[in-house]
Amino acid sequence: MKLISLLLALAVSASPLSQAAPAKKPGKKNAHSRAKAGTRAEARAAAPPVAVPAAAQAGDPIVFSESEAVNAFADELALRNGFPRAELAALIGQIRYVDAAVQLVKPAPKGKPKNWQNYSRATIEPVRIKAGVAFWNQHAAVLARAQAEYGVPAEVIVGIIGVETIYGKNTGRFRVLDVLTTLAFAYPEAPNQAARMAFFRGELENALLLARKANIDPLSMLGSFAGAIGMPQFMPGSVLAYGVDYDNDGSIDLRNSAVDAIGSVASFLVQHGWQPKQSGPIVYPARVSDDRTWESFLNQGLAAKFRAEELRAGGVSSSAALPASQRYGLIDLPNGSDPTEYRIATDNFFAITQYNRSYFYAMSVIELGRAIRLSRAGQPLASGETL
């Protein structure tokens, strides 16, 4: 019997592997990624997908069916999840090494400074804004429902889906099993190589569990160069853990259902620290003193730790009033040789960074959502407006 028939017949439910925030979206997003990703990694989030032939390539550096490590892993999967071992072997024989995935996850070359203004111009641009207005208009009722039920503003959900895939335009054309297997067993040399390989092995297992749960051919799943799936670019483990059947059709389909994508993004954020009752903007404009005593507030992790009075005492102020009941963090947005910009960030800003561990990413989500909201209302972009 073919693997797919067996997968369709198996109704065993399975819990996803625990997915740590640093590993959510390699190169980006897990859902998710590295703290303050490099410029090259951030730019890749908006890059168009690269097609990779599914057929075997002559001279592939790895034939997975002949790999001792891959076969040992398959033994573990069979024991842990009840997959028939012979059928796993048949599947492995169809999985191909993808060199493009290896090249794309390599660290950015040193020496090129990060530049928030350049990054923001590439992501907060007319194509995404226009597509975002259309997406919001088409799904206004669902976005309003998600905002009411989860407490996540519609513009944040729209911003994330826009930055990730331009509302489904660029969801990726790599076979998910190909890239996950490649990165699980042929990750390029790097200081965190072992951890990354372990992460991708977990996601490879999650992909098979997801295929079984969804009753689909595992080789039919397409995604990014790192295995992220659908409009919101969830890793398989995130689909299992945070995906929502928001259109109530009996399945979670992040590739074809914008409704499921909307609900799943909101679900992810709430389960990663979004505070529905938090008042005020997500980020505030920041001014910093010349004495640089405030530098101790930087690089304090992806969490709001400081009270407004502590920031003020340390030389950080804002033109807007900061609610005294909340805590904040100071983030920096380098601009190459131009002056660095600073923002005062709330818990909800840091919830967005759990989707992709980059200040640039979170700011682009906020600014794109703001631009779409204003454009939809027929209002010009106002300099210095906060969300």
Q: Which residue has the higher pLDDT, 108 or 212?
A: 212
The reported pLDDT for the residue numbered 279 is: 82
Q: CA nearest 48: which of 224, 228, 253, 176?
A: 224
On whether the CB atoms of residues 246 and 258 are closer than 8 A, the answer is no
- The number of helix segments (H) and strand segments (E) in the chain equals 16, 8
Rg, the chain, Cα only: 21
Asked if the model's pLDDT at residue 386 lies above 90, the reply is no
Distance of alpha carbon 140 from alpha carbon 149, whole angstroms:
14
| Amino acid in position 73 | F
Distance of alpha carbon 228 from alpha carbon 32, whole angstroms:
9
Catalytic positions, written as ranges: 164
On whether the CB atoms of residues 341 and 332 are closer than 8 A, the answer is yes
Asked if the model's pLDDT at residue 135 lies above 70, the reply is yes
Q: Which two tokens stand for residue 296?
A: 């101790």
What's the average model confidence in pLDDT over 52-80? Answer: 79
Asked if the model's pLDDT at residue 292 lies above 70, the reply is yes
Q: Which residue has the higher pLDDT, 373 or 37?
A: 373
Confidence band for 288, pLDDT divided at 50, 70 and 90? very high
At residue 26's C-alpha, the angle toward residues 265 and 163, to 5°, is: 45
Confidence band for 60, pLDDT divided at 50, 70 and 90? low
On whether the CB atoms of residues 271 and 242 are closer than 8 A, the answer is yes
Confidence band for 242, pLDDT divided at 50, 70 and 90? very high
